[in-house]
Amino acid sequence: MRSSFLGFEIAKSGLQSAQAGLDVTGQNIAKMNAKGYSRQTVEQSTDYYATNNYKYALLNENKIGHGVTLDRITQIRDQFLDTRYREAFADYSRYSKALSIMTSVSNLVDETLRDGLGAAYEEFIINLQTFSMNTGDIDYSGLVRSSAQKITETLSYYYNQLEKLREQEVDDLSISINDINDLLERISGLNKEIQFEKLFKNSPNELLDTRNLCLDQLAGYMNITIEDNGDGTINVKVGSQYLIDARSDTVQKLSYEEIGDTYAVKTESGELEIANGSLKASLDAINGKGDFAASGENDAKGILYFQMLLDAFALNFATKMNELNGADKPLFQGTTALTIEISDAWLKDANYITTTNNAEPKDGQNDNILRMLAELNKDVSIGDIFIGTFDEFILKMILDAGSEESYMNDLTQSSDAILTSIDNQREAAKGVSLNEETVNILKYQRAFEASSRILTALDEMLDTIINRMGAVGR
């Protein structure tokens, strides 16, 4: 014969199960708009019949279970979707950051809405052509000098603006590294809290949500790999380096170092292998030398690349004009975009420019000016990256900036679409559905009412047995 109170225990377990379900449902609804929250659910299992639970074994087959057992409260989360989301978020962060930088570069050199280096060079050629028909006239030679000075000032302005943008990116890199270090410390602290709770068989779901949110943010900065240690703790890797190693309780701190004209992000173990995320975009913008990159250097078309283009133009243009003006009669001094300027001699005398190479010059002779115009219209070789005229070189710089901006815009849009798609899938798995939770409220409410009714029925049955049975004839 079964225990007199077995039915009560079964009904009580039903009450507890329904109450736990209602509590979890209430929490899901309360936190449905909380960032990073994962929907929770009650895991239950049937409490089976065991012979050793009885003083005397039941020998017949009329055995029933002992109700339901609350195993744990778990969060609904798909680790595969988490990994895909972080990879997609790293892509989006990289391309959106690169787009922002390239938009600034393109806006600087673009001449669609305003004049720039191309317009200044064109004005110089026009004034030189006009001067060829009016040699000896100081007004026209002055116009040539003024337009040449405008080229040098534009080169200097472009270079300085690019340098300011590069310094801003270095500052942003420093801020990002500080944020990363804070996230790593926080994740390491959450590792310890989660491990502690698991040791006491508690469900650290809210702590897991907080850690996952930190990991999502960290993935936006760089390419991370997560390793689960099975005890509630995780390791975080970038490339071959462990930034967080919970097994040895170590956390690496990131820093950046200036090496020559480039910057590197490193830890105590060495330089980090950053292949994605906003840090990758920042390093590409700061270090990228494009076509000027030697073996092992960053070959992205970053800010440094466009500064090197300006330097190459300044050097070759000044060298060519100085050669054409004759030996020991330089029109320009300085060899970089930042240092190029009109020579002191030309600045003092507008007619310093050589108009003819005849041994006995006469007024109106213009053979050297015509020679200058012809040479400036010929192809020149600028390093190993370009062969063409100077105006074509300026056009190349403008097109490089525009095409990089367009390319990054396309990548940003495609990565955003992929990220949104994965995020929607992830939210469908872990997010709270108000309709589903409303159904759960009704389900658990009905279960609670039914279990209560069973307890009432059992109570009435016992009352009949105890107080009424055998009372007839007393």
Tokens of 76: 């609904």
- Residue pair 255/229 in contact (Cβ under 8 Å)? The answer is no
CA gap 283, 264 in Å, rounded = 8
CA gap 21, 29 in Å, rounded = 12
The CB-side HSE value for 307 (13 A sphere, CA atoms) comes to 20
104-136 pLDDT, tens digit per residue, is: 999 999 988 889 999 999 999 999 999 989 887
CA gap 257, 243 in Å, rounded = 18
> What mean pLDDT comes out for the span 431-440?
92
Looking at residue 468, what is its pLDDT?
Answer: 78
Looking up tokens 């030189």 gives: 128
From residue 99, alpha-carbon distances to 84, 104, 105, 420 in Å are: 22, 9, 10, 18
Residues in Cβ contact with 229 at an 8 Å cutoff, skipping those fewer than 6 apart: 235, 246, 247
Residue 247 has pLDDT above 70, yes or no: yes
From residue 328, alpha-carbon distances to 118, 323, 341 in Å are: 29, 9, 16
- Residue pair 254/267 in contact (Cβ under 8 Å)? The answer is yes
Looking at residue 465, what is its pLDDT?
Answer: 81
> What mean pLDDT comes out for the span 374-399?
92
Tokens of 269: 């173990």
> What mean pLDDT comes out for the span 384-404?
93
Looking at residue 474, what is its pLDDT?
Answer: 53
* CA-closest candidate to residue 312, choices 367, 380, 266, 242: 380
Edge-to-edge strand list for the sheet holding 270-271: 255-259, 262-267, 270-271
* CA-closest candidate to residue 90, choices 240, 281, 273, 253: 281
Q: How far apart are the first and last CA of the chain?
A: 29
Burial class (CB in 10 A: 0-12, 13-18, 19+), 461: exposed
> What mean pLDDT comes out for the span 229-239?
95
Q: How far is CA 33 from the centre of its chain?
A: 24
Residue 382 has pLDDT above 90, yes or no: no
Looking at residue 338, what is its pLDDT?
Answer: 95
Looking up tokens 């006995």 gives: 360
145-186 pLDDT, tens digit per residue, is: 999 999 999 999 999 999 999 999 999 999 999 999 999 999
Confidence of residue 2 (pLDDT cuts 50, 70, 90): low
- Is the sign of the CA dihedral 287, 291, 292, 295 positive or negative? positive
- State the DSSP H helix or E strand holding residue 83, giving kind and residue range, or none if neither: helix 79-109
**Bridge partners of 380?**
388
Strands 270-271 and 262-267, by their bridges, are antiparallel
Residues in Cβ contact with 51 at an 8 Å cutoff, skipping those fewer than 6 apart: 57, 58
pTM (2 d.p.)? 0.88
**Bridge partners of 238?**
241
Residue-by-residue DSSP string for 315-354: HHHHHHHHHHH-TT--SEE-SSTTT-EE-HHHHH-GGGS-
Residue 360 has pLDDT above 80, yes or no: no
Looking at residue 471, what is its pLDDT?
Answer: 61
Residue 56 has pLDDT above 70, yes or no: no
Residue 58 has pLDDT above 70, yes or no: no
9-55 pLDDT, tens digit per residue, is: 888 888 999 999 999 999 999 999 999 999 999 988 887 766 555 55
Q: Is 242 helix (H, G, I), strand (E, B) or coil?
A: strand
Residue 60 has pLDDT above 80, yes or no: no
Task: Classify 116 in phi/psi space as left (phi over 0), alpha (psi -120 to 50) or beta.
Answer: beta
Looking at residue 246, what is its pLDDT?
Answer: 95
Looking at residue 146, what is its pLDDT?
Answer: 95
- Lowest mean pLDDT of 3-12, 123-132, 270-279, name the range: 3-12
- Residue pair 213/205 in contact (Cβ under 8 Å)? The answer is no
Strands 341-342 and 386-388, by their bridges, are unpaired
Q: Residue type at 188?
A: S
Inter-axis angle of helices 138-199 and 303-325, nearest 10: 160
CA gap 332, 349 in Å, rounded = 13
Confidence of residue 4 (pLDDT cuts 50, 70, 90): low
Averaged confidence pLDDT in the chain: 91
- Residue pair 284/133 in contact (Cβ under 8 Å)? The answer is no
* CA-closest candidate to residue 218, choices 398, 29, 86: 86
Looking at residue 70, what is its pLDDT?
Answer: 85
CA gap 177, 232 in Å, rounded = 26
> What mean pLDDT comes out for the span 459-474?
75
**Bridge partners of 342?**
332
- Residue pair 85/430 in contact (Cβ under 8 Å)? The answer is no
